[in-house]
Structure 1
Amino acid sequence: MASSSSSASDLRYCPRWKYDVFLTFRCADSRKTFTSHLYEGLKNRGIFTFQDDKRLENGDSIPEELLKAIEESQVALNIFSKNYATSKWCLDELVKIMECKNENGQLVIPIFYDVDPWHVRNQSESFEEAFAKHESRYKNDVEGMKKVQGWRTALTVAANLKGYDILNG
């Protein structure tokens, strides 16, 4: 009868995560302020952080490499700022991150940078304006409206997670 236990030589170390942290944010709002300081702080502490420096704001889809980086990250730090919801790119990333949270157990931590968490959760103020524009753009497109609803849902769920509120820089 074969033994059910494995020897140490039979086991192979296969890390589950390629990155410790995936950092997502609206470039125009925080790249040169909060986000760059956070990224450097994480890096200086030996935390391997993925930060996408090649954002294509006009692109409708996220490159495969970026989707893979999201999947391979243990933690996602979502930096919500006033103009976050104006970016389809950021919202698409958020939907993928929330999928990874549900499917892979990824830890998602919201950071509310100079924005009231209530406004993010309830899509009011600048978030309401951004979604009105998205809905106007897709008003005659059933698939587009489904996408907008997916963004809304992901944003609400993510904003209801325990996170950090950073007001006034």
Structure 2
Amino acid sequence: MGSRAAREHSSIQWKYHIFLSFRGEDTRNGFTSLLHKALQSWEYEVFMDENDLKIGQDIKPELLQAIEKSKMSVIVFSTRYADSSWCLHELVKIMECRRTLNQIVLPIFYHVDPSDFRHQTGTLASDFQEHAIRHKDEVVKEWRKALTEAANLCAAVLEDTADR
């Protein structure tokens, strides 16, 4: 007949078509804002957190619910995405929803090398050294796993072509 997970997935009431995950200071006023406007113009219900999370704040429960209630997540990986523990917490939830709710996940690599995200090399290596100092080992391992998992998905890669 079908698995329990498939039955539960078919009964989900999606609130949003798309959840946008991004590092605010990297792309909010540029690429992500334009993407958000374009998706809305095509009449998609898009969740885009309008408020930056401050250091020391917990991820808002409504943010985690928005991820769960979205049919798809678009992750805009940018230069400082992995520097943000909040982005990484969000990413873990997105990848969990991909596994448990069959949520569609589309990574976009915005002016960054996807292999750096897969292997946490380049600037990500120093980001994770800092995370290892500030956070528990289990949390950092969970972030690394989610980042590698997301970076291994079929993705869009947007490079800077201004110099070409």
TM-score, scaled relative to structure 1: 0.86
Gaps (5+ residues) in structure 1?
1-13, 139-143
- Aligned partner of 1:90 in structure 2 is 87
1:158 counterpart = 2:146: no
Write the distance in 2 (CA, Å) between the matches of 1:59 and 1:100: 25
Q: Deviations over 1:118-157 (max 9, x none)?
A: 111111111111001011223xxxxx11001000000000
Seen in structure 2, the aligned counterparts of structure 1 residues 134 and 15 have a Cα distance that, compared at 3 Å, is: closer
- Matching residue of 2:60: 63
3-state secondary structure, aligned to 2:14: coil
1:145 counterpart = 2:137: yes
Do structure 1's residue 52 and structure 2's residue 52 form an aligned pair? no
- 4+ residue runs over 3 A deviation: none
What pairs with 1:12-91 in structure 2 (closer than 5 Å)?
A: 16-91=13-88
**Residue 130 (str. 1) matches residue 127 (str. 2):** yes
User: 1:89 & 1:39 partners in 2: Cα distance?
Assistant: 20
The residue aligned with 1:10 is none
Shift of 1:59: 3.2
Once the two structures are TM-superposed, the CA of residue 36 in structure 1 deviates from its matched residue by 0.6
1:74–1:106 contact (8 Å) kept in structure 2: yes
Query: Unpaired segments of 5 or more residues in structure 2?
Result: 1-10
Q: How many residues align?
A: 151
TM-score where L is the length of structure 2:
0.88
Higher CA-based Rg: 1
Q: Percent identity?
A: 44
Are the equivalent residues in 2 in contact too, given 1:29–1:81 (CA < 8 A)? yes
Conservation of the 8 A alpha-carbon contact between 1:60 and 1:88: no
Read off the aligned partner of 2:123 and give its amino acid letter: S
| Cα RMSD (Å) | 1.3
Offset at 1:16? 2.2
